[in-house]
Copies of this chain bind each other. A is one copy, B any other.
Amino acid sequence: MKKFISVKDTEDPKGLVKKAIDIKKDPFSNPIGKNKTMGLVFFNPSLRTRMSTQKAAMNLGMNVINMNIDKDGWKIEFNDGAVMDGDSQEHIKDAVKVMSQYVDILGVRTFPGLKDRNADYNEEVISNFIKYSDVPVVSLESATRHPLQSLADLVTIEEIGIKKPKVVLSWAPHPRILPQAVPNSFAEWVKVTDADLTIACPEGYELADEFMAGANVSYNQEEAFKDADIIYAKNWSSYHHYGEKPEVKEDWRITSEKMSLTNNGKFMHCLPIRRNVIATDEVIDNSMIYKEAKNREYAAQAVLQEILENL
């Protein structure tokens, strides 16, 4: 793997899930990262990703360099050919090339602007990392995808152990305008498994066609929940009315009553979660959320190990 941004970057996503499960049994058995350095570049806040990826790298014996580029570095220019006489201090091509020279793998965290759909879906930031980096680039969440989260979620689903599970990706309420990265990514990863995927969301909240394709769609949350084995909750803002949050009249908050419609379904969420907004405390406290978070470590370790094995 030269990059790990979307499910398409791995030839064998199921093999990667298996690798993570194997690593979990004995995380310190492969010091393949000795004298190798992981660079973690943050344009945006991060807790799970920051900690789990560091931990994964260190489990492999790697050194880690963190770079809070938004706080500790320089203001970055993204336009090619720009006459840089304004605020921005360093061009993305120079920053990426230089950072990549000091590390063996470069991770980058970047959120979408949620103003210009083309810019976001062209993955302006991480595309430049891929273009200019001398070393493999790993997404620590990008404008449109969060593959380490999705891989961890697949590990969690594999551990639940249901054959051909009915998985419902359900929209849920949130006070802010959020990216589509997690649901996009979850959809594309689940679709490489044997699961049956339903995306339940209010009208106007459909994901981009690329991510909807191959999934059932439902605009009725309660109907979608029937017989579900897994409820994967997440808020996202509208793709079709980009950067907007069209009014939703129905109550999409996930409650125990709604969960009782499922086939003893498990509740999943990537965290951070707005308690009693996305779902009630009761639902969250009886969920897979901490298992998912713990699996972030092994998902990251599987990806880093795979990359190191092919350097």
Q: A35-B59, A45-B74, A91-B275 are in contact. List 8 more A-B contacts (CB 8 A).
A: A47-B69, A47-B73, A47-B74, A51-B103, A81-B276, A82-B276, A84-B277, A97-B290
- Give, as a whole number of angstroms, the nearest-CB distance from A250 to chain B: 17
Which residue of B is nearest A81, CB measured? B281
CB-CB contacts below 8 Å: A11-69 with B = 28, 35, 37, 39, 42, 45-48, 50-52, 54-55, 58-59, 63, 65, 67-69
How far, in whole Å, are A261 and B81 apart by their CA atoms in the complex? 24
Q: How far apart are the CA atoms of A99 and B293 in the complex, in Å?
A: 9
Question: Which one of A135-143, A156-164, A182-190, A266-274 contacts B?
Answer: A266-274
Q: Mark A237-261, 1 if CB is under 8 A from B, else 0.
A: 0000000000000000000000000
A271 close to B90 (CB less than 8 A) = yes
Q: Closest residue to A57 on the B side, CB-wise? A: B63
- Verify A72–B46 contact, CB threshold 8 A: yes
Using A82-B275, A275-B82 as known contacts, say yes or no to A90 and B54 having CB atoms under 8 A apart: no
Residues of A103-119 contacting chain B, CB below 8 A: 103
Q: Is the CB of A73 within 8 A of B58?
A: no
Return chain B residues, CB-CB under 8 Å to A48: 98
Q: How far is the CA of A95 from the CA of B273 in the complex (A)?
A: 10
Instruction: Give the residue name and chain of the B residue nearest to A97 (CB).
Output: B290
- Asked if A290 contacts B101 (CB within 8 A), the reply is yes
Partner among B63, B71, B275 whose Cβ is within 8 Å of the Cβ of A71: B71
Q: How far is the CA of A61 from the CA of B89 in the complex (A)?
A: 33
How many whole Å from A306's CB to the nearest CB in chain B? 21
Q: Which residue of B lies closest to A94 (CB)?
A: B271
Q: In the bound complex, how far is the Cα of B101 from the Cα of A35, in angstroms?
A: 26
- Chain A, interface residues (CB within 8 Å), range: 35 or more
Q: CA of A289 to CA of B132 in the docked complex: distance in angstroms? A: 14
Q: Are A293 and B89 within 8 A (Cβ)? A: no
What are some 6 contacts across the A-B interface (CB < 8 A)?
Answer: A71-B71, A82-B276, A85-B175, A94-B275, A98-B271, A98-B293
A294 within 8 A of B: yes
- For A68, the chain B residues whose CB sits under 8 A away are 72
- Residues of chain B lying within 8 A (CB to CB) of residue A59: 35
Given known pairs A37-B58, A276-B84, the reply for A51 and B65 (CB within 8 Å) is yes
Determine the distance from Cα of A271 to Cα of B102 in the docked complex, in whole angstroms: 15
Give every chain B residue within 8 A of A294 (Cβ-Cβ). 98, 101-102
